[in-house]
Amino acid sequence: MKIAILPGDGIGTEIMAEAVKVLGCLDLRFEMEEAKVGGAAYEAHGHPLPPATLALAKAADAVLFGAVGDWKYDKLDRPLRPEQAILGLRKNLELFANFRPAICYEELTHASTLKPEIVAGLDLLIIRELTGDIYFGQPRGRRASPDGAFAGADEAFDTMRYSRPEIERIAHVAFQAARKRNKKVLSVDKANVLETFQFWRDVVTEVHAQYPDVALEHMYVDNAAMQLVKDPKRLDVIVTGNMFGDILSDEAAMLTGSIGMLPSASLNAKNQGLYEPSHGSAPDIAGKGVANPLATILSAAMMLRFSLNQEAAAQRIEAAVKAVLAQGLRTGDIYSEGTRKVGTREMGDAVVAALKAQG
């Protein structure tokens, strides 16, 4: 089993060190090979996704990814910006199905900014389409406005688009995931305004005909954003497009206590996957040793489950994370009174100790 380890930038290197430590103390044989990605790769090789990094990711059974980005790269031409690395990996590996589970662990009920009764026991799954939408639609660019009230003025434009097969395959993923859970899917769109998302709604409805045992509900994204904080436990599987999924998953992260708790899996049709926390490189706390490594450690657990066929090891990691939270250990982002504040490394060490204690 070969795992590509791509730490990236900012807290990416700090959280990845803890996840690698956790993987290393399982009784499994992995080959782990590390490569630079994002700003780190740009500094070393002049490109955020160098050919050798992409080749490693393609050849591996799974990719564990930290995070990329830093404000200092914001002035670079877009193809050279760190974020292009993660977008390029998703597109090149055809990782169209992004699973972002938002689970509120019992011990963290009080870490959320929402009232405990709203989030206690929350377990929802956002399924985000990851290789289409306005993220990748062409054409895009800047030009002099060709017409309208501001003709001749500078303007910028992007293209939102989805093809039928792209919507069909993510809808199948959502309905199949719902069959293993509570048999209901909420499809989030903006069909009242956007043609792309009226089409999304039509195609999801058509695919639903093959899943009569699963309940389907449609909702506009603005309302969904509201329902997520009003009554999130009413929701179970949410399927949506690339951009809405990006936004709603950060919102859902706060229901779990912190974005530092939200893992993710991005899968292609062959179940090859890239696993990463849903957060970014957090330049504001990078280098301070305070980042929460649990989203990355939980992403490693998802990797064991989905790409490496190691369900037992995945469950061991998840149980170790719960044990550490039950011991009262907290990084700053999930700290609340009466718990013990620890740094990134201490949190990783505690997960390793909890794994060893399992025998």
Ligand X SMILES: CC(C)[C@H](C(=O)O)[C@@H](O)C(=O)O
Ligand Y SMILES: NC(=O)c1ccc[n+]([C@@H]2O[C@H](COP(=O)([O-])OP(=O)(O)OC[C@H]3O[C@@H](n4cnc5c(N)ncnc54)[C@H](O)[C@@H]3O)[C@@H](O)[C@H]2O)c1
Question: What is the contact surface with ligand X in residues (CB under 6 A)?
Answer: 83, 86-87, 246, 278, 280
**Residues in 236-265 at the binding interface with Mg ion, rule: CB under 5 A:** 246
Taking a C-beta distance cutoff of 8 angstroms, is the pair 293, 348 a contact? yes
The C-alpha angle 89, 98, 294, rounded to 5 degrees, equals 90
Does 42 participate in catalysis according to the annotation?
no
DSSP state, residue 109: T
Nearer to ligand X, 282 or 290 (CB): 282
Residue 83 lies near ligand Y (rule: CB under 6 A):
yes
Shortest Cβ 280–ligand X spacing (Å): 6
Token code pair at residue 59: 């050849």
Q: Is 275 a catalytic residue?
A: no
Candidates 42-50, 106-114, 168-176, 290-298; binding stretch for ligand Y (CB under 6 A): 290-298
Q: Please, which residue, 107 or 246, has the CB nearer to Mg ion?
A: 246
Least spacing, CB of residue 278 vs ligand Y, in Å: 7
Is 283 marked as a binding-site residue? yes
Residue where the block lists tokens 């809405």: 244
Q: Nearest residue by C-beta to ligand X? A: 83
Fill in the per-residue mask, 295 to 324: x = in contact with ligand Y (CB under 6 A), - = not in contact. Answer: x-----------------------------
Question: Which residues neighbour 91 within 8 Å (Cβ) at sequence distance 6 or greater?
Answer: 131, 136
156 phi and psi angles, rounded to 5 deg: -125, 150
User: Is 27 one of the annotated binding-site residues?
Assistant: no
What secondary structure does DSSP assign to 64-81, as a single string?
EEEE---GGGTTS-GGGS
Among 105, 135, 162, 275, the active-site one is 135
How many degrees, rounded to 5, is the angle at CA 260 between CA 18 and CA 56? 50
- Active-site residue, 21 included: no
DSSP state letter for 112: S
Instruction: State the DSSP string of 334-349.
Output: G--TTSEE--HHHHHH
C-alpha–C-alpha distance, residues 320 and 85, integer Å: 31
* DSSP code at position 134: G
Return the number of the residue (171 or 265) whose C-beta is nearest ligand Y. 265
Q: Which of 74, 202, 222, 231 is catalytic?
A: 222
Report, in Å, the least distance between residue 329 CB and ligand Y: 14
Nearest to 1 by CA among 32, 35, 36, 34: 32
Does 84 bind ligand Y (CB under 6 A)? Our answer is no
Known catalytic membership, residue 335:
no
Residue 260 counted as an annotated binding residue: no
Catalytic residue, chosen from 70, 190, 211, 275, is 190
Residue of 183, 250, 335, 341 marked active site: 250
Check if 162 is active-site. no
CA distance 35 to 114: 39
Site string for ligand Y, 50-69 (x = CB under 6 A): -----------------xxx
Catalytic residue annotation: 135, 190, 222, 246, 250
